[in-house]
Structure 1
Amino acid sequence: MSALAFTLLALTLVGPVPAVLARASWPMRAPRAAIVLWQSIAVAAVLSAFSAGLAIASRLFAPGPDGRPTATVTSEIAVLGWPLWLGYVTVFAVTLLIGARLMLAGVQVAVATRRRRAHHRMVVDLLGDCRHGMNGLRVLHVAEPLAYCLPGVRSRVVLSEGTLAALSDPELVAILSHERAHLRARHDLVLEAFIAVHTAFPRFVRSGSALAAVRLLVELLADDAAVRTAGPAPLARALVACAAGPTPSGALAAGGPTTVVRVRRLSGRPNSGWLSLGAYVAAATVLVLPTLAVAVPWLTELHRLFFS
C-alpha cells in the first residue's frame, strides 16, 4: 500500500497538479510564495518517486521461515519466487537509475551554464564599455535595445547603446533595478534546479509547465523590486522598449515573450499577503502531510521486519 500511495502521489504531483497550477492566475499576485509552492511540488514529486521504488524494493526483505527478513539472494528467491524477485530488483534498479540521472543532469546543467556565461562574460568585457563608474555594468555598441544580466560570482549587467538612447533616466533606473534584483536574489539558481529536473525526466513524462511558470515568476519578482525603486510606469515603458531584444543562453533578460503579461500586471491589483500565506501553507502541506501519511506505515513495517 505504501508503494501504491507513493506512486499515485508522484503521478499526481507530476501531471494534474502542475497543469492546474500553471493555468492559475493568482501566482501573479504572490510570485515569491508561488515559487516556493512550485519548489515543494517538485521536491515532493521526486521524493515520492524514490519512495515508491524503495517501498517496492523493501519487499525483497520478506520474512523467511524463521520470521526474520531474508538476507541473501537465494533466500529471497525461495520466499518470493523468480518472477516477483526479478520485478522487485528491476524496480530498485530503475529507482537508482533515476537518482543517478537526476544528479547527472544537475551537474551537466550547472557546468554547461557556467561555461556559457564565462565565455559570454569574457566577450562582453572585451567589447563593452564600463559606464557610470560601475565595474559590473557593460555597455555594448549595438543599436538594438538590449538589457540582460549574467549571474555568477563575477556578475555583469549588460546594456546596449540602443537601450541608453531609448530610455529616459527613470526608465534606465527601473531596468537596472530589475537586473540587479535578479543578481541579488540569485534567481538563476532557482531556474537551474527546475531545468535539471526537467532535463532528467524522459520526454513522455516531463512537462514544460513548471519551468515556464517559474521563469515568469522570477521575472515578476525582479519587476516588483524595480517598481519599489522607480515605480510601475517607468518600468512598463522600459520593458516595452527592450521586449524584442534577444536573450543570450544562461542570461536573464528584462524583455522577452512574457513582456505583455508583465506590463498588464503592473497596472493591475497589487500583491496579496493572503494569497501568499495560502500558498506557503499549501507548500508545507504538499511537502509534509502526504509524505508522512504514506511513510509512517512503511517505516512501521520495516521496524517490524528488523526489530520484532
Structure 2
Amino acid sequence: MPTPVVLGALAVLLAGPLPWVLSRWSGLRRTPVAAMVLWQSTALAAVLAAFGAGLSLVTERLWEDPAGPGDVVVAALAGAVTVVVLGRLLLSGHRTGTSLRRARRVHRERVDLVARVDGGVSVLEHDVPVAYCVPGMSGSRIVVSRSTLTRLGPAELDAVLEHERSHLRARHDLVLEAFTVLHLAFPRWVASAAARREVEVLVEVLADRAACRTGDRRALVSALVTLAGSTAPIGSLGSAGSSLAARVEVLRDSRAHPWQAGSVSVLAAAILALPTLLVVLPWLSGLA
C-alpha cells in the first residue's frame, strides 16, 4: 500500500478512533505522567501523519522519472491540502490563544478590583466555596472565596492551594490549550473530543498528586468534596475541576504502578515513531 495512503489513514485513526478507545481506559489515570505522554504523543503523531501524507505524495509524484502532467497536478493538490492543514492549525492556534488570553486578562483585572490579597491569594467575598487559578505570563492569580476559607480546615486549604500552585508551575493551561487547538483544527468528522476531555482529567490528577506529595491525601479528598459543584471562569483551572468521582478514585489508590507506567511510555514512543518512520524511510530510500 502506498505510503501517503497509510499515513492518511493513520492520521484519521490517531485523531479520532484511537483517542476514543484510550478515553475508555480509565485505569490509565493511575499513571498520570505516562498517560499524559501517551496523549501528547498521539496528538503529535496525528499531526505528523497528516503532514506526512501530503508531503510524501508530493515527493512520490515528483520523483517519478519522468514526472508527467498528471503527477504534477496530483502533487499540487496534495501540497495545497497540506497548506490548508497547516493554515487550519495556525488559525486555530491564533483564535484559541487570543480568546483565552483576553478572557484571563479581563478576569485578573476584575479580581484585582474586588478581591483582597491574603498571603498571595486573592480572596473574594462570596458565599459559595470556590478555588481556582488564573494563569498568565504577566502574573497569575490563585483565587478563593471567603466561604472556602471558613469551610475548609487548615490541612484542606493547604492541599487546595498546593493543587492550584501545581497547575501554575506545570503550565497545565498550555497543555489544555494545545489539545483545544488540535481539536478545533481537525474536521469534526475526524476529530474526537475525547482527547480534550481526558487531558482535562489528567491535569487535575497530576495536580492532585502534587498536592498529596506535600500534604494529606484525606484532607485533599475532603476539600474536593466540599468544593464539588463549584465552577471556574473560562481560561482558569479550578480545584473542583473535571470528573471529581474519577479523581477521588485515583486518589484512593496510593500504590505505584511501574509496569503500567513503563508499558504506556513504550506505547507512546511507538505511536510517535510510526509516522516518523513512514515519512523518513521512503525519502531516504529515494535518495539512495
- Fold-level similarity (TM above 0.5): yes
Q: Secondary structure at the match of 2:142?
A: strand
Q: Secondary structure at the match of 1:244?
A: coil
Runs of 4+ in structure 1 over 3 Å off:
62-65, 84-88
Q: 1:290 Cα deviation (Å)? A: 4.5
Q: Which residue of 2 aligns with 1:152?
A: 136
Q: Which amino acid aligns with 1:242?
A: L
Choose 273-282 or 196-205, whichever is displaced more. 273-282
Q: Which amino acid aligns with 1:219?
A: E
Q: Secondary structure at the match of 2:132?
A: strand
Q: Distance in 2 between matches of 1:289 and 1:6?
A: 9
TM-superposition CA deviations, 1:13-70 (whole Å, max 9, x none): 12332122111123221101111111111111111111111112224415455xxxx5
Q: Which residue of 2 aligns with 1:207?
A: 192
Unaligned runs of 5+ in 2: none
Contact 2:201 2:242 in 1 (8 A): no
Q: 1:222 Cα deviation (Å)? A: 0.3
Contact 1:124 1:138 in 2 (8 A): yes
Equivalent residue for 1:187, pick from 172, 179, 201: 172
Q: Which residue of 2 aligns with 1:263?
A: 248
Q: Secondary structure at the match of 1:286?
A: helix
Q: Distance in 2 between matches of 1:112 and 1:294?
A: 35
Q: Which amino acid aligns with 1:279?
A: V
Q: Which residue of 2 aligns with 1:73?
A: none
Q: Which residue of 2 aligns with 1:291?
A: 276
Q: Which residue of 2 aligns with 1:49?
A: 50
1:225 aligns with 2:210: yes
Choose 292-301 or 252-261, whichever is displaced more. 292-301
Q: How many residues align?
A: 286
Q: 1:232 Cα deviation (Å)? A: 1.3
Q: Which residue of 2 aligns with 1:26?
A: 27
Contact 1:40 1:287 in 2 (8 A): yes
Unaligned runs of 5+ in 1: 71-75
Q: Which residue of 1 aligns with 2:122?
A: 138
Contact 2:17 2:192 in 1 (8 A): no
Q: 1:269 Cα deviation (Å)? A: 4.5
TM-superposition CA deviations, 1:100-157 (whole Å, max 9, x none): 110121122112111111110010011000113x2xx100000000100011230110
Choose 56-65 or 90-99, whichever is displaced more. 56-65
Q: Secondary structure at the match of 1:145?
A: coil
Choose 222-231 or 167-176, whichever is displaced more. 222-231
Q: 1:274 Cα deviation (Å)? A: 2.2
Q: Distance in 1 between matches of 2:255 and 2:163?
A: 18
TM-superposition CA deviations, 1:177-203 (whole Å, max 9, x none): 100000011111111111110111121
Q: Which amino acid aligns with 1:276?
A: A
Choose 263-272 or 103-112, whichever is displaced more. 263-272
Q: Distance in 2 between matches of 1:115 and 1:54?
A: 36
Q: Which residue of 1 aligns with 2:106?
A: 119
Contact 2:48 2:275 in 1 (8 A): no
Name which one, 1 or 2, has greater alpha-carbon Rg. Answer: 1
TM-superposition CA deviations, 1:69-107 (whole Å, max 9, x none): x5xxxxx41xx3xxx644442222111111111012112
1:110 aligns with 2:110: no
Q: Which residue of 1 aligns with 2:15?
A: 14
Equivalent residue for 2:147, pick from 148, 162, 175: 162
Contact 2:129 2:227 in 1 (8 A): yes
Question: How high is the sequence identity, in percent, across the aligned residues?
Answer: 43
Q: Which residue of 1 aligns with 2:87?
A: 100
Q: Distance in 1 between matches of 2:33 and 2:165?
A: 17
Contact 2:132 2:142 in 1 (8 A): yes
Change (3 A) 1:290 1:203: closer
Q: CA RMSD in A?
A: 1.7
